Amino acid sequence: MVICLTGGTMPERLAEMLLDLWTPLIILWITLPPCIYMAPMNQSQVLMSGSPLELNRLTEEQRILNRSKRGWVWNQMFVLEEFSGPEPILVGRLHTDLDPGSKKIKYILSGDGAGTIFQINDITGDIHAIKRLDREEKAEYTLTAQAVDWETNKPLEPPSEFIIKVQDINDNAPEFLNGPYHATVPEMSILGTSVTNVTATDADDPVYGNSAKLVYSILEGQPYFSIEPETAIIKTALPNMDREAKEEYLVVIQAKDMGGHSGGLSGTTTLTVTLTDVNDNPPKFAQSLYHFSVPEDVVLGTAIGRVKANDQDIGENAQSSYDIIDGDGTALFEITSDAQAQDGIIRLRKPLDFETKKSYTLKVEAANVHIDPRFSGRGPFKDTATVKIIVEDADEPPVFSSPTYLLEVHENAALNSVIGQVTARDPDITSSPIRFSIDRHTDLERQFNINADDGKITLATPLDRELSVWHNITIIATEIRNHSQISRVPVAIKVLDVNDNAPEFASEYEAFLCENGKPGQVIQTVSAMDKDDPKNGHYFLYSLLPEMVNNPNFTIKKNEDNSLSILAKHNGFNRQKQEVYLLPIIISDSGNPPLSSTSTLTIRVCGCSSDGVVQSCNVEAYVLPIGLSMGALIAILACIILLLVIVVLFVTLRRHKNEPLIIKDDEDVRENIIRYDDEGGGEEDTEAFDIATLQNPDGINGFLPRKDIKPDLQFMPRQGLAPVPNGVDVDEFINVRLHEADNDPTAPPYDSIQIYGYEGRGSVAGSLSSLESTTSDSDQNFDYLSDWGPRFKRLGELYSVGESDKET
């Protein structure tokens, strides 16, 4: 293969290009045009010459070394990037040894960029780059060349592949992709402390030349920081940099290619270095002496004042703890640290008294909490200050001589006797008189009184220890000159016991004595109680009444547990002779003077089994027939009760059946009346009802029975009355029907009502309604009511009297 380069390329440049090829080549320089004939050979065989005789020898060796089926000898071509001449740049020339120069061979180019980036002269085989190339976009192109017959386009030999490499030039400046940078380093660091490292990138070819070889330097930030030229590690250039003097530094870093030589491209970035705090400064009080004043009546725990020690450090390095290390008020005051404000709060621990001491002096210390041992040699990380506290006088309430009082009184103490006394004083210099009183909310029953001047407590009502042992009251002390100054004190009054209650049985006892009991058998054990509470405990004495000391039936025995046992003297008790025995017992206490009472024990004689179990204590048990069990007795009793119930039910039903059907006078008929609020049409209305309904036409020819009860006696049906002619007297008609209803047991029940709405035809009464009346009451004349019968006559007289009264 023959590659011809044009353009007067320098031999040194060509040699540098060809040395980058992977395949070993023999290089031969020819005068004009300079052509490169390449043939594979050993790596050490490189010959450079310009003689035409050597060209022939090269061709001869090429034929020997190449494979017979291919006439092409090539591998790579080169073209410079970013070429921007007026005409396309010649990359190289293709030529085959099959070309005799008769122009019957045509060269075809295909592959990456063929026809768009690279163009071939199909006659001469010259390859030109028609576009500007950028190695950073694409570093090489793979193409395929083939020689074909000009006329037939038949391939003269198989296609061959070659590469066109874009040769790099220094056209990209370094870039810091992650900038700007931020870093921290502790203050007071030693020289050469590593801060951080930065990295720049160069898009040029790192293999070819120095286009991508970077060197780092600092443009700004000296003399505080330095940078390693090749690794870009930033370090401190000065020792003991103080954050309190300057906290932040701006460093400008440059990266330059071409190994830092002139002509190289460069890029810059910024690095902000912040010094972090360390505890290298002690706290310092803003002033050496503080003054505070406080009233003597201030509440315990109240903040009196604040002191502050400033620290130039920040965060936890500035935290300080405060303590009172000396002074005459260390027992009365305390100081706490405020973590937020970083100051000390002085508080009151114990009450102040202006009359006792008017001022206090404290020595306060502030010390760092977190100390860095590296800087312990700089001195103590603490400071002290003096605090002077002035106590101001205040009007204080009275002060009792004791915070509580305990008084004792016997329950039989006389009224108005003195139980005890409380005292109080005004602690102020003015010393106001004190007035005492009892808080009646604590003495609702007003059992005690107090002298307002001297505080003596007296008894107002009698006491009873058995009702209440303790009485808790509150005494109030008030300044006479200032009633707002009040103090209170609790007073506990204990009521002491006296022997004022006689002992008695602890409960109601009832003893049972078996008929088959033995002499000396314990019938019952009883105990006593006493409401009093002697100091040495209760001790009771038991005895029988003097007249029953020689009781033939029973005796008593005192037990060690202060109880009493009752024993039977003999056997053979018979409940037929005597069922119950009463045994009076005298119980005495050990008080001074001793008190006693008599309690009676009831002893009942019972029938018992052989083992002493009580079975029956009733005398009637002996009159029962022998042979009847308890179950049989219960069955007989149940039958008797059932018969009694049946008899009672029978009598009740008989009484209910014979009850009269007459409505009693005290019963109210109105509760059975149904109102329809329907007004009839008067006497002229013949369609509203038929008079035959009042004549009971259903019962004219037959018997009309009652539907609620069955009559005891059967009455013959009464002969129905003939219909009343229309001209009959209404009064007579109503009386007849009323008489029949009253004497007829088959009539409707008493709790129903019959309506007599018949007025008769041609009545002269007219309508009683006032809806159509056009005259006043004074125009009415009621004399015509006398013609309707005796009942309406009485009604007319009443209305006539009313009219005459109005006129009068």
If DSSP states are collapsed to H, E and C, what string results for 44-58?
A: CCCCCCCCHHHHHHH
Q: What is the CATH number of domain 175-276?
A: 2.60.40.60
Query: Are 278 and 188 contacting, i.e. CB atoms less than 8 angstroms apart?
Result: yes
Rounded Cα distance between 461 and 459, Å, is 6
Distance of CA 464 to the CA centre of its chain: 53
Which phi and psi (to 5°) does residue 43 adopt?
-65, -30
Query: Are 345 and 306 contacting, i.e. CB atoms less than 8 angstroms apart?
Result: yes
From the candidate CATH numbers 3.30.160.270, 2.60.40.10, 2.60.40.60, 3.20.20.220, the one assigned to the domain spanning 76-167: 2.60.40.60
Rounded Cα distance between 470 and 334, Å, is 41
Name the strands in the sheet holding 233-236, side by side, starting at the edge strand that comes first in the sequence. 194-197, 233-236, 225-227
Q: DSSP readout, 234-286?
A: EEESSSS--TTT--EEEEEEEEESGGG-TT--EEEEEEEEEEEP-S-S--EES
Query: Are 282 and 320 contacting, i.e. CB atoms less than 8 angstroms apart?
Result: no
Q: Which of 427, 428, 346 is nearest to 390 (CA)?
A: 346
Q: 774-780 long-range CB contacts below 8 Å, 24 or more apart?
A: 777/803, 778/803, 778/806
Strand partners, 284: 310
Rounded Cα distance between 490 and 407, Å, is 11
CATH topology for the 504-616 domain: Immunoglobulin-like (2.60.40)
Q: Kindly give, in sequence order, each residue whose CB lies less than 8 Å from that of residue 34, ignoring residues fewer than 6 positions away.
A: 4, 5, 6, 9, 14
Rounded Cα distance between 794 and 634, Å, is 73
Q: Kindly give, in sequence order, each residue whose CB lies less than 8 Å from that of residue 506, ignoring residues fewer than 6 positions away.
A: 526, 527, 528, 529
* Confidence (pLDDT) at 491: 96
| Residue where the block lists tokens 């009042």 | 694
pLDDT digits (tens, 9 = 90+) for 569-590: 888 888 888 888 888 888 888 8
* Confidence (pLDDT) at 21: 37
**What share of residues in the chain are helix, strand, coil (percent, to 5)?**
15, 30, 55
HSE, side-chain direction, 13 A CA sphere, residue 756: 13
180 preceded by a cis bond (ω within 30 of 0)? yes
| Residue where the block lists tokens 């007249």 | 547
pLDDT digits (tens, 9 = 90+) for 417-444: 999 999 999 888 888 899 999 999 999 9
**Ranges of the chain whose pLDDT falls below 70:** 1-75, 100-103, 618-629, 657-728, 745-780, 800-808
CATH topology for the 284-392 domain: Immunoglobulin-like (2.60.40)
Rounded Cα distance between 373 and 124, Å, is 86
Query: Are 299 and 291 contacting, i.e. CB atoms less than 8 angstroms apart?
Result: no
Name the strands in the sheet holding 434-438, side by side, starting at the edge strand that comes first in the sequence. 405-410, 486-496, 470-479, 434-438
Rounded Cα distance between 138 and 132, Å, is 12
Distance of CA 30 to the CA centre of its chain: 98
Bridge-based pairing state of the strands 284-285 and 233-236: unpaired
Sign of CA dihedral 369, 375, 380, 381: negative
Q: Which of 184, 260, 253 is nearest to 220 (CA)?
A: 253
Q: What residue type is assigned to position 433 of the chain?
A: P
Q: Kindly give, in sequence order, each residue whose CB lies less than 8 Å from that of residue 770, ignoring residues fewer than 6 positions away.
A: none
Query: Are 496 and 431 contacting, i.e. CB atoms less than 8 angstroms apart?
Result: no
DSSP-derived secondary structure letter, 31:
S
Bridge-based pairing state of the strands 194-197 and 233-236: antiparallel
Terminal CA-CA length for the chain:
167
625 preceded by a cis bond (ω within 30 of 0)? no
| Residue where the block lists tokens 């040894």 | 97
From the candidate CATH numbers 3.10.310.70, 2.60.40.60, 3.40.50.720, 1.20.140.160, the one assigned to the domain spanning 399-496: 2.60.40.60
HSE, side-chain direction, 13 A CA sphere, residue 166: 25
DSSP-derived secondary structure letter, 742:
H
Q: How many residues does the chain have?
A: 808
Rounded Cα distance between 408 and 496, Å, is 7
Q: Kindly give, in sequence order, each residue whose CB lies less than 8 Å from that of residue 473, ignoring residues fewer than 6 positions away.
A: 438, 439, 442, 443, 448, 490, 491, 493
Which phi and psi (to 5°) does residue 516 adopt?
-95, 25
Q: Kindly give, in sequence order, each residue whose CB lies less than 8 Å from that of residue 549, ignoring residues fewer than 6 positions away.
A: none
Where in the chain are all domains bearing CATH 2.60.40.60?
Answer: 76-167, 175-276, 284-392, 399-496, 504-616
Query: Are 456 and 424 contacting, i.e. CB atoms less than 8 angstroms apart?
Result: no
- Under DSSP, is residue 493 helix (H, G, I), strand (E, B) or coil? strand
Neighbouring C-beta atoms of residue 89, cutoff 10 Å: 18
Rounded Cα distance between 363 and 352, Å, is 19
R_g of the chain, CA atoms, integer Å: 70
The pair of three-digit structure tokens given for residue 614, joined into one six-digit string: 């009580």
Q: Which of 529, 523, 478 is nearest to 505 (CA)?
A: 529
* Confidence (pLDDT) at 622: 44
pTM: 0.43
Rounded Cα distance between 280 and 376, Å, is 9
* Confidence (pLDDT) at 419: 93
- Under DSSP, is residue 524 helix (H, G, I), strand (E, B) or coil? strand
